[in-house]
Amino acid sequence: MTTTAAPATTTPVVGFDQVTKTYGSVRAVDGLSLRLYPGETVALLGPNGAGKSTTLDLLLGLKPADGGTVSLFGTTPREAIVAGRVGAMLQSGGLMDGVTVAELVKLACSLHPRPYPVADVLARAGIAQIADRKVDKLSGGQAQRVRFALATAGDSDLIILDEPTTGMDVSARQAFWATMREQADQGRTVLFATHYLEEADAIADRVLVLHRGRLLADGTAAEIKAKAGARRVAFDLEGEIDQSALRGLPFLTSLDVSGQTVRIQSSDADATVHALYGLGVYPRNLEVAGLGLEQAFVAITEAEEAKQS
Ligand SMILES: Nc1ncnc2c1ncn2[C@@H]1O[C@H](COP(=O)(O)OP(=O)(O)OP(=O)(O)O)[C@@H](O)[C@H]1O
């Protein structure tokens, strides 16, 4: 596993030490150890039920751990939150019925020890035009923008986002990530859980892959792609394609035939292509490329599933 180097003297923004959380027989978080440092933008990935939301809940002190210790800035989550060092945008909840967008944002600003002006918070989240609307009358994407405003109501050192762009349209997403980049550039740590792997690839400088409550991979997107090992091979064939012969190629991990185009994944692309010629098959327009983050993620998590079953 790759670990991110940081000076031994720096107090981690987030410290998880052998943290465990169980629900009945389910180990949602299973001996998780982790350190995040100032200025990092970190994507938390994992299949459904991997433990992402539970990890964020533990981090925010919303749930107690059954074992291990969670620290924020060297203190308890509660102390860090009371000191206004953490802004959070969770998947649901957080929006009080019966109040307007402006009233809710004003409240969040009044609770923060280092608030930004309400007008700035509304403008940054792109909700100035709907400031007088009741929060229970908002669309899904608008409600997400309001949650984003609440998370950035004041000057926090750590911003936690659980699937932040779900329901946002393309321009809202772009504006959202531009703002998050600014926050990270100013030295803040941004941790976000997502199922949008292209966002993780584009935004995060560190990617964590969780699976059954354990950390499967920790590194840059490039390192995660390299860890998956496999490569993509695509080529065209003429005439009838013998799929069963292709399926017998060595090191093949997936096969997809569409018209005359064959796309495969292989854990040793050189050997697979060599064997292809051995079949008497002459591929045209041959392309060999590394995996995208999404394919690497699937390869890593499926390999772990296979190991455990
Ligand atoms: N309150 C709860 N009671 C019982 N089981 C729970 C509870 N919350 C979560 N779990 C279980 O713990 C595991 C981890 O759930 P969690 O919500 O943390 O995963 P996740 O990675 O955020 O999933 P998703 O991508 O679907 O949001 C799952 O098996 C889930 O069913």
Q: ipTM value, please give it.
A: 0.97
- State residue 93's pLDDT score: 64
Residue-averaged pLDDT of the chain: 89
CA-nearest residue for atom 1, ligand 1, is 23
CA dihedral 119, 122, 125, 127 (to 10 degrees): -140
User: Is the Cβ atom of 46 under 6 angstroms away from ligand 1?
Assistant: yes
- State residue 1's pLDDT score: 43
User: Is the Cβ atom of 45 under 6 angstroms away from ligand 1?
Assistant: no
The segment with the largest mean pLDDT, out of 70-74, 143-147, 196-200, 278-282, is 70-74
pTM of the model: 0.82
Which of these ranges, 24-38, 86-100, 200-214, has the smallest mean pLDDT?
86-100
174 band by pLDDT with thresholds 50, 70 and 90: confident
Q: What is the largest CA-CA distance in the chain?
A: 73
User: Is the Cβ atom of 26 under 6 angstroms away from ligand 1?
Assistant: yes
pLDDT over 70 percentage in the chain: 96
Amino acid at 292: G
- State residue 296's pLDDT score: 85
Which of these ranges, 3-12, 20-29, 113-122, 269-278, has the smallest mean pLDDT?
3-12
Q: Ligand 1 center to residue 137 CA distance, Å? A: 28
Q: Tokens 């991990």 belong to which residue?
A: 253
Mean pLDDT of 72-96: 87
Using DSSP's 3-state secondary structure scheme, residue 303 falls into helix
Contact present, 258 and 237 (Cβ < 8 Å): no
Question: How far is it, in rounded angstroms, from Cα 24 to Cα 246?
Answer: 46
Q: Which of 196, 226, 195, 189 is nearest to 34 (CA)?
A: 189
User: Is the Cβ atom of 115 under 6 angstroms away from ligand 1?
Assistant: no
Contact present, 114 and 180 (Cβ < 8 Å): no
198 band by pLDDT with thresholds 50, 70 and 90: confident
